[in-house]
Amino acid sequence: MKKISFLCISLLIFTACKNDSKTTTETLTAEKDTAEAKAIAVENKTASEKKEIPALKKCTEKQIEYETEQECIFSNAHIADVYKTTIQDQEIEKSELLLTELPKENITKEINQDGLISISYTVTPKKTDIEFSFEGGVTTLSLEQQNKDVKRLIIHSAD
């Protein structure tokens, strides 16, 4: 069960890194004149326009045994903006359960639904760590302000 959940999380990470514009182009060429294709194109266009942070991010991924790590550097950004973008783009499983605003103090939010036990926020002036405690492992979202840039680190760890 742990291997299956780890595999699913890994696939989620790898598919999240795909370029959305390629998907839209492929859909439009396959179904050129259908109403569904036009609706998908409009949805994707509006979603890309809503992003607050420009595509000035550099990401790398590493996989070590039962851990997957994705590190992204967002140029000319603030922690709160990267946090909101991470929630909007659903770059982490269960991101819809995160607080809408980044908290200013350490808190733990008990969830106990769909395998998610709790979400813990550890806040310091230049860094925020958010830990998702799942029944099958832990996912950590770390946001660190580095001068004008923000380093976002997402670590998926299986038990």
Over residues 123-135, the mean pLDDT reads 96
The average confidence (pLDDT) of the chain is 78
CB 102 within 8 A of CB 125: no
pLDDT of residue 53: 42
Question: Does residue 48 carry a pLDDT above 50?
Answer: no
Residue 146 confidence class, pLDDT cut points 50, 70, 90: very high
Q: How far is CA 106 from the centre of its chain?
A: 21
Cβ-in-10-Å burial (0-12, 13-18, 19+) of 74 comes to buried
Question: Does residue 14 carry a pLDDT above 70?
Answer: no
**What are the start-end ranges of the H helices in 17-139?**
20-30, 35-50, 79-88
Over residues 24-32, the mean pLDDT reads 37
Q: How far is CA 37 from the centre of its chain?
A: 26
E strand intervals along the chain: 57-64, 67-74, 107-113, 116-123, 127-134, 137-146, 149-158
